Amino acid sequence: MDTSLPTFSLRNSKEEVIDFPSGNSTLLCFVKEDCETCQTIMPVLEALYIAGCNILVIGQTIEGNQNLINKFELTLPVLDDSSLKTSFSYNIEIVPTIIHASDENQEKIRLEGFVKTEWQKLISGFGTKPSVNWNSLPAWRPGCGSLSVQPENEGRLTAEAENNPIRARKLDLQEDEFEFMFDQGFTDGLPVIPPTEERVLRMLSGTHRDPQETIATVPPNMGVATTEKVAINAVMAGCKPEYLSVVIAALEAACTDDFNIHGVMATTMGASPVMVVNGPIRDYIGLNSNLSALGQGNRANATIGRALRLIIRNIGGAVPGKTERPTLGNPMKYTMCFAEREERSPWSPLHVERGFKETDSVVTLFGMTSGPTLIVDQTSTDPGQLARSMAMCLAHVHHPKAYSLSDTLLVVCPEHIDTLMRGGSYSKETLRQEIFNYAPKSIKDLVQNENSGVGISSEQLAAMPDEAQNRIINKFRSPEDIHIVVAGSDAGKFSGAFHGWVTGPMGTISVSRKID
């Protein structure tokens, strides 16, 4: 294993290029001008240089280097590391840092800050006798933070390092970067954040997955979504790194055969993924489950949902007017992600119903065509009355004659929860069954007529035996097609419902994934 110190070529104050290593034992000293300890050691370094020590001072700002040269009348080489790449490659965290490099370019000693006894011991090993007034120097003095580890610089430097894990092609734009993203069709119609190397690397810190690991193959174009590509789109959407694991889990759910993201995005009904997040990660990343949970105003909600759609668009190729063909579309095509307000619910949260542990963080995807449609009931006082009131609204999902085709996601608000719990315990199963049992109809009730062409034709009805014509069906095929979560603020008797697309193997089936 090669343990040699990094090589560099830097310019001195005379614009001469100085190469390292030179084959000689050398002292490298990293400094910045506004550090008092760096200024304290400058006379010592100059004395060492005059005494014949091979020394290179590596300064972190051009103006600061010149100020040091002028103030201390330096004759030693002061090199320009204003790019901070050399400081970064040497892992400099504190200035001053002095490194003794052997003639074989190996690090022998590294000192940070100034401790007089350590510096005296280091210098004595060179066999020189510099003219230093040690009595005038403090016994010790701490250093300052290197510019190379400041947050505004570290990301850029990491991105520029030779071991950069990013493999995406870098573009040098001569035009407005925001307009370029629009022109290339990388956006959903709203501006996106340019995915610079620094931003993508910062985003990748939100997952332990290898940047080139394949997360999913994304329909319809079967594009390969690596962790890096997911991170790029998460940057564009405006995500924070801590959101990335949710985006990854959502993408894994979307690209299953059950969820059928191609069908969801391609249908002319204008379906779109709706994401519900459960578990501890809700609080960790600040997902909203309270006031305006299904609306605007929260970064995590807005950008996580948006990131999934950008991935499906930019990697999968689901672009409106091409493979995505909605007649009208809906605002959920931009984003729809929210957290269940588990603490306000008397029931098991969604992910526990689906077999996960309460301590698991889980994202669940639903393929929905519209919503949230408000269920406005401010006057029902009895639990059963409110449940049937909700059922009455849900009986008209898509159309009053559209039966046993779709599912629904019912979002119950806290004040409605209080009504349902009035006088005792009203279970989620009871609410689900009440909705399922409401307004059953016979096949013959769903025949087309002068008021509506929706339903079965009179010819189809006539071909059925009486027993089939009188068969009773429900709005939903089974109670399990009625998904129930709790969200919203404590004020307001307004629940909401999302209307599903075609439910089942011919359409979409909701999918849950544990967040890693």
For 429, the 3-state DSSP assignment is helix
Q: What is the pLDDT of residue 70?
A: 96
The CA distance from 238 to 243, in Å, is 10
Query: Computed from CA positions of residues 172, 174, 177, 179, in that sequence, does the dihedral angle turn out positive or negative?
Result: negative
Say what percent of the chain tops pLDDT 70. Answer: 99
Stated as kind and residue range, the H or E segment containing 407 is strand 406-412
Structure tokens at 246: 């949710």
Cross-strand pairs, 483: 409
CATH classification of 8-150 is 3.40.30.10, yes or no?
yes
Those residues whose C-beta lies under 8 Å from the C-beta of residue 375, and which sit 6 or more positions away, are 389, 390, 393, 394, 494, 495, 496, 497
- Pairing state of beta strands 114-115 and 140-141? antiparallel
Report how far residue 170's alpha carbon sits from residue 187's, in angstroms, rounded to the nearest whole number: 18
At residue 162, does pLDDT exceed 70?
Answer: no
Residue 2 pLDDT = 59
- Model pTM? 0.77
C-alpha closest to that of 188 among 297, 313, 295: 313
d(CA 264, CA 275): 14
DSSP codes, 81-132 = -TT-HHHHHTT--EESEEEEE-TTS-EEEEEESEEHHHHHHHHHTTT-----
369 three-state secondary structure: strand
Average pLDDT over residues 293-309: 97
Q: How confident is the model at residue 34 (pLDDT cuts 50, 70, 90)?
A: very high
Task: Name the amino acid, one letter, at 9.
Answer: S
* Least confident piece of the model among 6-20, 167-181, 243-257, 402-416: 167-181
Angle between helices 299-314 and 227-237 (to 10 degrees): 130
The span from the CA of 97 to the CA of 112, in Å, is 4
The one-letter code for the residue type at 406 is: S
Over residues 426-479, the pLDDT tens digits come to 999 999 999 999 999 999 999 999 999 999 999 999 999 999 999 999 999 999
* pLDDT, tens digit (0-9, with 9 covering 90-100), for 370-381: 989 999 999 999
Residue range 122-126: mean pLDDT, rounded: 83
What average pLDDT does range 29-57 have in this prediction? 94
pLDDT of 154 above 90: no
> Domain-by-domain residue ranges, the chain?
8-150, 177-439+475-514
Residue 33 DSSP code: T
Tell me which DSSP letter residue 447 carries.
B
pLDDT (0 to 100) of residue 124:
84
Length of the chain: 516
What's the mean pLDDT when you consider all of the chain? 94
Token reading at 322: 């091409």
Mapped onto helix, strand or coil, the DSSP state of residue 450 is: coil
**pLDDT band per the 50, 70, 90 thresholds, residue 157:** confident
Name the pLDDT band for 167 (thresholds 50, 70, 90): confident
